[in-house]
Chains A and B, each alone.
Chain A
């Protein structure tokens, strides 16, 4: 007869299951090298090249010079002036990412993407290592990229294992090995322990996970407040969060930070048009439409205002979004210098698949117009169709454009 403990084991999410954390090494830089083999072996840095730009990814060659992602580009240029600096081709990265995820899908039906180059996969524990070896081989053979994989009994361990496996490695941590695997690692490796917390802990003489684990429960309570239990579980190598395939985004937006503050109304309208166009295209590419339009505006003195309006019907057309954004701008802007503008759509809906009719055709449906525009842009480039207000609306290289998506 199986005891109570066994049942608990089985009921726990992921019982008998392992988690694979798959992470492509220096993804953007690796794609650049893939497309331009002459870059192989050179430091390659991809990111925003303007004065406020940051490093998105850099090759391992660049990392040797101390460059890392999220570093201001100006610092990166100082550390590694001989690197090849590239602005990034997100469309291409997305394309390669899709190919890579198509390979992932052969190995597990349960995939949680974390970004273009990173995902958790769930697999039977007994097969996890074999699958990881095969997955790495297939991505290398079919796409030409190195993927590091960490295998563990849960997400926490898998993620740390893949970090340690990099570059181009595989690290498997079996359930019985978790304690020994984590013990010597820095507390910084644990989720929920940021640099500041880590520094404070180090001051108390707590450097490794083993140090942290040795502390009594009461100490955790006192030290971490509400989240003490989670921190303690992570320190013990426990993590019961399931591998969760993505839910749909709840909002989609674009925002821009300007190298020089904007003061001219016409300039602002042009940027709004460009942002509306970018948000609209993304919504439509995802087959979504949104009911709430939000405008975000940050003035030169870093004051941020948002204004929003909920429409009776979900919209996805550039013009519909722009129209609302302009009305919101009137409410939000009093003529001050503007440092940042953003347009966001929330209350997202997926227009249902639509049965076409034999009898009602050619009705003036606005989606049809935008579908045609999107097709033209896909075929002839993003500037194939521009509308009046957004003329010359490409973000300048020095402008920092950010996508926002909230799940």
Chain B
């Protein structure tokens, strides 16, 4: 293997792929990246066994071949190299690769390419859908935070994807709140129908971390083709191929458990509300968080918190639209993450009781909602 590539291009490729490389792995080979050069094209592959990403770039390839090099070291070195053409070539010593530019010469001990776990091929048969990269990124970014981090219920560490031609829906829940975002692609709907093999891919549960990586990879792509072979989600763009193992098991039907009707609906200025909540909740910061108490009524919203030994806090806000009175308390982080992910000027807060789920949404935008369960306050 021998190829030349401009330093900034290679640095970017390695930076993106090293996001996947696990810090510690039972399989040492995965601490490396696979470089594969062939006919004017260089591919870099990284995997943590749950997902893998392959990125490609045009390169001046003098001799095709493969090598596996330590990901972090290679990435750090290339990032610090001058902005010039870099040349990589395999050496006579087994598995060693020489990285050189004028005046510099590094020989890096590699690992055996034969041991590197290869990604499965993109399933050309079967249902597939095409999406804009920024739409995929949007549904992931707006649900990612609500997925569980707790391995006790692995299925909830995933994001539930429903993919149809021209439409993608993502839902995440950690059992305490739900974020759901839908994106409809106006223009691609017709193309989708014409497209061969276009079909709905329903009910894929993809680890949130994998989707976050995919969102980063694919954000700039005009078209990403998604398919599933039942065990993995595959995504292919112009310059990358990504795959992630699916989480197996039944995803809970959380939306079915929600109140059918919200009895109290209030509209407030979103940023004002968020700022007030951030100030009031400072009281509990750093220790077990004091519940944020919200009292809707009498033409105002009172946001309050009290933490034994720390003090009390209280702020009042005028609503933009008033609803039925309600007193409810939330975990401040869960509540504020919902307010943060909304983008509009206004937020609509809908509640059906102090112990029932509340819904937050932008009254101008029906594509997203956030559901959050309250806290039962002691005393």
Contacts and interface: CB of A to CB of B under 8 A. Distances in A.
B376 A353 contact: yes
Contacts of B331: 355
A286 interface: yes
Contacts of B254: 358-359
A379 interface: no
Nearest to A350: B378
Contact of B373 (A286, A350, A352, A357): A357
Contacts of B173: 358
Contacts of B329: 353
Interface string A353-390: 11111111100000000000000000000000000000
B332 to A, nearest CB: 11
Given A358-B257, A361-B257, A353 B291 contact: yes
Contact of B378 (A109, A352, A360, A361): A352
B32 interface: no
Contacts of A355: 176, 331, 334, 373, 375
A357 B375 contact: no
Nearest to A351: B378
B355 interface: yes
A51 interface: no
Give the interface size bracket for A toward B: 10 to 19
Contact of A356 (B178, B374, B378): B374
Nearest to A289: B378
Contacts of A109: 311
B377 interface: yes
Interface string B301-330: 000000000010000000000000000010
A194 interface: no
A287 B178 CA distance: 29
A109 B173 CA distance: 41
Contacts of B154: none
A356 B355 contact: yes
B357 A286 contact: no
A10 B178 CA distance: 54
Contacts of B373: 355-358
A358 B176 contact: yes
Give the interface size bracket for B toward A: 20 to 34
A358 B376 contact: no
With a 10 A CB-CB cut-off, give which of A354, A356, A359 has the most chain B CB atoms. Answer: A356
With a 10 A CB-CB cut-off, give which of A288, A352, A353, A360 has the most chain B CB atoms. Answer: A353
Interface string B350-361: 000001010000
Contacts of B252: 359
Nearest to A357: B175
B379 interface: yes
B293 to A, nearest CB: 10
Contacts of A360: 175
Interface in B263-302: 288, 290-291
B375 A356 contact: yes
Contacts of A350: 378-379
B352 to A, nearest CB: 13
A357 B291 contact: no
A109 B331 CA distance: 26
A351 B373 CA distance: 19
A146 B133 CA distance: 72
Contacts of A356: 176, 355, 373-376
Contacts of A352: 288, 378
B378 A353 contact: yes
Contact of B375 (A287, A353, A359): A353
A370 to B, nearest CB: 13
A355 B175 CA distance: 10
A354 B379 contact: no
B178 A354 contact: no
Interface in B114-168: none
Interface in A324-365: 350-361
A400 B331 CA distance: 44
With a 10 A CB-CB cut-off, give which of B290, B311, B378 has the most chain A CB atoms. Answer: B378
Contacts of A359: 175, 252, 254, 257
Contact of B357 (A287, A353, A354, A358): A358
Interface in B178-201: 178
Contacts of B377: 287, 353
A350 B311 CA distance: 18
Contacts of B178: 358
B241 to A, nearest CB: 36
B201 to A, nearest CB: 25
B158 to A, nearest CB: 15
A361 B356 CA distance: 10
Contacts of B177: 358
Contacts of B374: 356
With a 10 A CB-CB cut-off, give which of B311, B371, B379 has the most chain A CB atoms. Answer: B379
Contacts of B290: 353
A68 B374 CA distance: 50
Contacts of B376: 353-354, 356
Given A356-B355, A358-B373, A287 B257 contact: no
Contacts of A361: 257
Contacts of B288: 352
Contacts of B175: 357-360
A132 B378 CA distance: 34
A350 B377 CA distance: 11
A299 B5 CA distance: 98
Interface string B331-370: 1001000000000000000000001010000000000000
Given A353-B290, A353-B329, A354-B378, 5 more contacts: A353-B291, A356-B375, A357-B175, A357-B176, A357-B373
Q: What are the 10 A-B residue pairs with the smallest beta carbon separation, nearest first? A: A287-B379, A287-B378, A356-B373, A359-B175, A354-B376, A353-B377, A353-B291, A353-B375, A353-B378, A351-B378
23 contacts: A286-B379, A288-B379, A350-B379, A352-B378, A353-B290, A353-B291, A353-B329, A353-B376, A355-B176, A355-B331, A355-B334, A356-B355, A356-B375, A356-B376, A357-B175, A358-B173, A358-B175, A358-B176, A358-B177, A358-B178, A359-B175, A359-B257, A360-B175
